[in-house]
Amino acid sequence: MALVGAGPGDPGLLTVRGLELLRRAEVVVYDRLVNPILLDEAPPEALRVFAGKLAGSHYLPQAEIHALLIAHARRGRRVVRLKGGDPFVFGRGGEEAAALAAAGIPFEVVPGVSSAIAVPAYAGIPVTHRGLSSSFAVVTGHEDASKDGSAVDWARLASAVDTLVVLMGVRALPAIVASLLAHGRSPDTPVALIRWGTTAEQETVTGVLADIVARARAAGLEPPVVAVIGEVVRLRDRLRWFEGASADLPPVSMRELLEREAGVLG
C-alpha cells in the first residue's frame, strides 16, 4: 500500500518512485487534481477508482476512502493512493496513513512536488528571493467547516513572514484579504492568483491586496487556484517562462516523456 504524491498537474513532475509503484499497481485510487495522463501508466488491468472532491461535494466521503484502501490492501492487492501535490500537504494523507496504521496495514509514503512551490515557480514567482523574501508560509484557505472559527492566525501571518502561499483559497479570498489588511499588511502588497498551475490551462491574475478581489471576480476565477502574496510577485514580469511557451504544446504521457529523455541521453 502506498500513498503517492502525483505532483501539481504537470505529469513530468511525478517522482521516479511514484512512477515505479504506479506501473505495478493493481488498484489506483485517485483524486480530481491528478493529471489523467498518469492513469495510463498503471497496468491496463488495474482497477481505477475515482475519489475526487470539490468544495462541498465529495464523490467518496473520506471514511469510505479509508475503508476502500483497507479492504483492497487486506486482499493482498498492490494499492496506490494517487494524490495531487504532496500527500501530507493539505491532502488528508495524514488521515489516510493514520487509518491504515490503525488497521495494521503496512504502507509507504512517496512525497510529491507540492503545488505550494511548483505553481508559483511555473508562474515565474520564487517563494524566496534574496532581498525580497527570506521566509514563506503555506496555509489553507479551505478549512474544516465543523471547526469553530479559523485555525489560521491571520493576525500573526500578516507580518510574520515575507511570502504567503494560500492553497484552495479563492472562495475565501475576500475574507483573507480583509484579515491581512486589518492586521497591517500594506494594501500595495503584490498578489498573484494562479489557476490550474503547471498545466497547459494555467492562467495568472495579478494585482495588489487593495484590488485583487475585484480582479479575481472580473476574471471569473474558479478553483483550483494558488494565491501568492508578497513582494516576490513583482519578479513575475522578468521570470515568467511557462505561460504562452507551453500553451500550444499537446499533452504527452509519462512514457513519451521518458522515452524522449532516454533518446537524448542515449
Which residue in 10, 31, 86, 162 is the catalytic one?
31
- Which amino acid, one-letter code, is at 167? L
How many whole angstroms separate alpha carbon 226 and alpha carbon 186? Answer: 20
How many whole angstroms separate alpha carbon 4 and alpha carbon 111? Answer: 6
How many whole angstroms separate alpha carbon 192 and alpha carbon 163? Answer: 11
Helices (H), 136-172: 154-160
Which residue in 1, 10, 86, 168 is the catalytic one?
168
147 flagged as catalytic: no
40 flagged as catalytic: no
> CA of 96: how far to CAs of 3, 63, 154, in Å?
8, 9, 28
Other Cβ atoms closer than 10 A to 255: 14
53 flagged as catalytic: yes
Written as one string, the DSSP assignment of 9-63 is S-GGGS-HHHHHHHHH-SEEEE-TTS-GGGGGGS-TTSEEEE--EETTEESS-HH
Other Cβ atoms closer than 10 A to 228: 26
Per the structure block, which three cell numbers stand in for 129?
Answer: 528571493
- Please list the active-site residues: 31, 53, 168
